[in-house]
Every structure is written in C-alpha cells, then in structure tokens.
Amino acid sequence: MEDFNEELEKLLNDLEDVNGKKELSEYLKYLKYQKNYSDYTIINYGDDIKEYLLFLHEKNINLYKITYEEIRLYQINLNDKKDINSTISRKISALRGFYKYLENEHKMENNPFSLINLPKKDKKLPRFFYYNELEELFNTPKLNTATGQRDRLILEMLYATGVRVSELVNIKVSDIGDHTIKILGKGNKERIVRYGDYCEEILNMYLGDGHYKLNSSSEYLFLNNRGGQLTDRGVRFILDKIIEKTTIEKKISPHMLRHSFATHLLNEGCDILTVQELLGHESLSATAIYTHVTNDRLKEVYFKTHPRAKKK
C-alpha cells in the first residue's frame, strides 16, 4: 500500500494547479480499493490521464465541458507524437473510464469519449520464449540463497500456471493446495490454476527455507528483501536482472511467460477452451491470438514431417 501511495504522490506532483488533479486522485483510489486493479495498471492509467489533463491545461480547455471537436484535437496531438494505434487505444480507453467515473459521481451529465471510435489495433503476435530459452532462464537464479529460491519460483510459477503478475504477487501461502492454487483474478473472480512437479520442487524448497528466512510470519508467498509483500514492479525488476545474466537477447516481462504458457500448451495439443479457462479469459477471442502462433508452428511441422507435403 505504501508503494502505491508513493507512486500516486509522484504522479500527482506534476499536476500542481492543473484542473482535474483531485478527480484523478479519487479515480485512481477508486480503481485500487473498489475495482481491485493492480498497482501497475492503475499507475499506467494515471500516466495516460495526466498527459490528457496537461494537454487541457495547455490549451485552456474545460475538463467538464470538452467538445467532440476538442477530443479530436487531442487525438491529432497523439498522432503527431507518433503514438502507435494500440497506445492511442489504451489512452482513449483510460479516458473513457475516467469520464464514466465522473458521470457516475454526478460531476457531469454524459461521457463525451463514448462517441470516439478507437483506432484499429496493430496486429501484433504475442512474444514468447522457446523451450531452450526457458531452461536457461530457470537455471540462472542461485538456489543457495533465499532470494535465489524466490526468483526461481517466480519463473517456474509464472510459466507453470500462466497467471498475471498482479495475481502472482497476491498469492497467499494458504491459497496453495495439492498442485493447485486459488487465484483472485480480474473483477475479484476466483479460479483454480495448477502447477506441476518442477514447480512443486522449487516451491517446497522455498517454503522450507527461503520464505522462512525472508519473513516466516508473512501470509504472502512472494516477499521482497525486507520481508514485505513483493509488488508488480518488484517482479519486473527481478526478471530484468535475471535476463541480464543470460545469453538471451530478448526483453522479458511477466506477460511473456504467460504467453509462453499458452503457446506451448496449444503446441502440445491442448484445446483452446481449456487454455481460455486456465488463463482466466472471459472471451475466447482474447485466447484466439495464440492460435496464430501455433498455426505457424503446425505449418512448419506439417511440411517437415508429412510424407507427401513436398516433392523430393
């Protein structure tokens, strides 16, 4: 909680004397305490809305009386900054949510952003790790230290379960069962994920040694060096440090391990509905993007292995 308040304060410091600062603060606290959004998501939304408020301040546009034409002017400004379509879509979506909140709080009569069409998203396939790259990642943390055991477990659990980083850092020791973990996902929806023998081995080592040394009394599974609950940002920092020690020339993120989880399941023959359930996706369309990756793999395997795929 302290980390969130510090990040919020830093964000709001740039909005001194800017109209909408108080409303933004209230909205981000609403996302945190009412909607249960992750700190990482909230701060990203805050950055997007802060950029918009600074634009309004510069152009002397009223936050509550903005017109469709003035919103279009803001979109043109984003295009001039060479923001890609997916980034623009994210920023407009953040503002839609912000204005919907203002509308629900009776601070304005309607949401002008509901009239704005989002640009078509750039078609971008999810990035994932190959099996040999994962092996190198897993073998990088040193298991003779408490933090090394924790870091190895972070990698194993992200890949074994496909959970989001916001779900990972909120796992409590009491949520763990026999090869199962109870996860509190988006919208406070619970689901059960599973993990295998490799993850279990490291989990037992960490619970019997590393977790005890970091803070045996903590209810949370993943702890920082001071024994407190590890944050989203803390996990990303740890992963950055791990990949720096490898020969892998890729940027790493928790979501890349989630992508790898889904892609490898489909490559090995798992049906897409099961993958959807394991990922916690509400819509099948969110899971379907992984079929583009696996289709390329199937095509490659087909032409290599089918006896009559190619003439000798």
Active site residue 206: no
Which is the catalytic residue, given 91, 258, 259, 264? 258
Which is the catalytic residue, given 90, 182, 194, 281? 281
Which is the catalytic residue, given 127, 186, 194, 233? 186
Which is the catalytic residue, given 50, 164, 211, 259? 164
Active site residue 281: yes
Active site residue 74: no
Q: How many CB atoms lie within 10 A of CB 76?
A: 10
Active site residue 211: no
Active site residue 186: yes
Active site residue 57: no
Known catalytic residues?
164, 186, 255, 258, 281, 290
